[in-house]
Amino acid sequence: MSRRFAVLAALTVVCAGVELVAGRGMSPAVVWDVLGGGGDTTERHILFQLRLPRLLVALGAGACLGVAGLVLQSALRNPLAGPEVTGVTPGAVLGAVAATGLGLAGWESPLAVVVAACVGGCAGAALLWLLAGRGRSDPAQTAVHGVLVSAVLGGLTAMVLLVAPGELGSVVQWLVGTTEGRVWQHWHLLWPWALAWGAAAWLLAGPLTLLRCGDDIALAAGLSAARARALALLCAVALTAGAVAAVGALGFVGLLVPHLALAVFGADLRVTLPGAALVGAAVVCGADAAAQLSSRLLAAALDSGRLTLPVGALTACLGAALLLLVVRRAPSRTF
Amino acid sequence: MTESVGIRAEGVHFGYPGQPVLRGVDMTVGPGELTALIGLNGCGKSTLLRLAAGLLQPDEGRVLLAGDDLARLSRRATARRVALLHQSAPAVPGMTVRQLVRQGRYAARGPLGMLREGDDPVVRRALRDVGVEQWAERDVDALSGGERQRVRLAMALAQDTRVLLLDEPTTYLDLHHQLDVLQTVVRLREERGLTVVMVLHDLAHAARFAERIVALRDGRVVADGTPKEVVTPGLLADVLRVAGRVGRDPEGGWPVCYPDHPLLALEYENHVH
């Protein structure tokens, strides 16, 4: 098990390294030079004030989404649950966009964005909870209702964007998810939040592992299933909201990382929750590096210097492909 | 060996809106007794078992465990005293036998205690009790039905309770595995003085393995006694709605049933009233 962690950690470090050199305008040699203490003021600024915080935010957001997805899937016993399809992510986006549109929050007050995203995420999850009603225990029904809730919340977000387009230019990137332009302030806000809720989620590893066995068994073994589930959902919503406030709605990360983590680390969440954090960090960081590299290639090919590919677009495509694989596997194996 | 524990249901009523399930059940299971619950589908056997495990609360009446009212115990405190093996269990992909059996320690260790690695002698003993140590690292979902049932029995045993409730532990198993599971239960009960209540569909198993049979019909206890007292052609007709004869096992002397045909609704009404 520790070997798997080591391999994954090495993979994450490689992704992080690629991410640092993937941007435009600095060759790997220059980056190496700057890291060693050399380079001119501009180069130092680019690396330490732009690329490093961006890298850290990508790692942190990926970890948050990975853990949130695993907590959701375990608590709801649903392999198709994920922040994106349970109303949490779209709710958080709506919260962030609405708060910005109303002038309550903005790039200058990222804390307000986190709070708004959190409230929105809770509201989205609550809406699904109410709508699904008695069908909650059925993964397929919950997924269907989740799509419904997501569509409604997405529509509301679009309305906010249409009504108040002026102030919201930069908000659009929340819809796709991007790490473009993330600075230290975002990181300083993200890490304590992620650490606190991540730790809370890990403390719930015992109950969550038991919830994976089904409510009947969990109750018979002495777990107050409803209470444990409510606490777990709170953690998942908070982690998702933190990630959405930092990088926007990164598609499919929260849905697919848990499947990868479970395949690598097994069903004991004491191990798999930290594993999901690591997988999530590696996936988002790697996707961001890939997005930057392909932006460079595309920009060169299309001869448009300003073209940037948001990482969210990449994770959505990658995620959709992986989801197809998951669905194609035998149904009993997907949870 | 610690003291055995008895269960007592006093005037228990339970139901769902517009649909009463139990209508005043009184039942006493003595410490260390092996009791079988029998009855038709939907007569309230499983519900009674769930009430005894504290998973449901009676609408009226109460369930006592060694004299303590279950309604006053927390979920965890109850699970430290009673283990319930459910009739069926959903798949748990990726979980190994050892991990699943370890989940039985939740009540004893608590949410934070489960985080500690700690090697647990109770888990090892439970794996040994049902003879599944050799599969401890295999995936539960990769096992056959009979093997899986033994693993789930081990999970219940890992709760280390004085009372073991089994809801149709032999359903879906072939004869070999049915006897295997039942004999394991009988052996453990003798070794540890466990109090065992099990819902059984097969009257042959009930008559052979149980010391006592409690029969339910329409949410009421209609027969209660040793297999020899209870298992009669009348019981077959009253409780199981079949016409049949009852003989004796030539070796062991326990009652053996020869069911002939199901009673038609009209015959049944005439018989009961």
Helix A253-265 × helix A269-302 angle, to 10°: 130
pLDDT at res. A280: 95
Strand partners, B163: B82, B195
Where do the domains of chain A lie, and which CATH numbers do they carry? 77-249 (1.10.3470.10), 253-329 (no CATH)
Q: In the predicted model, is pLDDT for residue A335 greater than 50?
A: no
How far apart, in whole angstroms, are the C-alpha atoms of residue A321 and residue A314? Answer: 11
Predicted TM-score (pTM) of the model is 0.89
Q: In the predicted model, is pLDDT for residue A52 greater than 50?
A: yes
B80 touches chain A (CB under 8 A): yes
A-interface mutation test, from B70, B76, B81, B115, most A Cβ less than 10 A away: B115
Chain A to chain B Cβ contacts (< 8 Å) = 101
Q: How confident is the model at residue A107 (pLDDT cuts 50, 70, 90)?
A: low
Query: What element of type H or E holds A37?
Result: none
How far apart, in Å, are the Cα atoms of B267 and each of A314, B5, B270, B272, B273?
71, 42, 5, 9, 10
Q: Are A254 and A89 within 8 A, CB to CB?
A: yes
How far apart, in whole angstroms, are the C-alpha atoms of residue A68 and residue A83? Answer: 7
Q: Are B239 and B247 within 8 A, CB to CB?
A: no
Determine the distance from the C-alpha atom of residue B257 to the mean position of all C-alpha atoms in its chain, rounded to a whole number: 22
B92 touches chain A (CB under 8 A): yes
Please name which of B53, B104, B106 lies closest in space to residue B81, comparing C-alpha atoms. Answer: B53
The tens digit of pLDDT for each residue in A20-44 reads 888 777 778 888 888 888 778 888 8
Which residue reads 């809720």 in tokens? A197
Looking from the CA of B159 toward its CB, the CA atoms found within 13 Å total 30
B103 touches chain A (CB under 8 A): yes
Q: Mark the ranges of chain B whose per-residue pLDDT is less than 50.
A: 1
Q: Are B50 and B78 within 8 A, CB to CB?
A: no
- Report chain A's terminal Cα–Cα distance, integer Å: 21
Q: What angle do CA B69, B74, B78 make, to 5 degrees?
A: 65
- Report chain B's terminal Cα–Cα distance, integer Å: 48
Q: What angle do CA B126, B128, B132 make, to 5 degrees?
A: 100
The tens digit of pLDDT for each residue in B158-168 reads 999 999 999 99
Residue of A nearest to B164 (CA): A220
Backbone angles phi, psi at B258, to 5 degrees: -120, 85
How far apart, in whole angstroms, are the C-alpha atoms of residue A237 and residue A214? Answer: 21
B-interface mutation test, from A268, A270, A332, most B Cβ less than 10 A away: A268
ipTM of this complex = 0.89
Sign of CA pseudo-dihedral A196, A198, A203, A207 = positive
- Choose among A216, A219, A270: nearest Cβ to B115: A270
Q: Which of A40-54, A300-314, B60-74 has the highest mean pLDDT?
A: B60-74
pLDDT at res. A300: 80
Residue A279: both structure tokens together: 């997988």
Q: Which DSSP symbol is given to B2? A: P
- Choose among B79, B93, B156: nearest Cβ to A335: B93
Backbone angles phi, psi at A221, to 5 degrees: -80, -5
Three-state SS for B273?
A: coil
C-beta neighbour count of A292 within 10 angstroms? 24
Q: In the predicted model, is pLDDT for residue A55 greater than 60?
A: yes
The tens digit of pLDDT for each residue in A209-261 reads 999 998 899 999 999 988 898 899 889 988 998 898 888 888 788 888 999 99
C-beta neighbour count of A217 within 10 angstroms? 25
B250 touches chain A (CB under 8 A): no
CATH number of B7-81+162-272: 3.40.50.300
The tens digit of pLDDT for each residue in A130-174 reads 888 777 666 677 778 888 898 899 899 888 888 776 655 566 667
Please name which of A50, A195, A214, A97 lies closest in space to residue B84, comparing C-alpha atoms. Answer: A214
Q: How confident is the model at residue A207 (pLDDT cuts 50, 70, 90)?
A: very high
A217 contacts in B (CB within 8 Å)? 86, 89, 103, 155
CB contact under 8 A, A268 and B111: no
CB contact under 8 A, B55 and A219: yes
Determine the distance from the C-alpha atom of residue B199 to the mean position of all C-alpha atoms in its chain, rounded to a whole number: 5
Taking the CA atoms of chain B, what radius of gyration do you get in angstroms?
A: 19
Domain boundaries for CATH 3.40.50.300 within chain B:
7-81+162-272
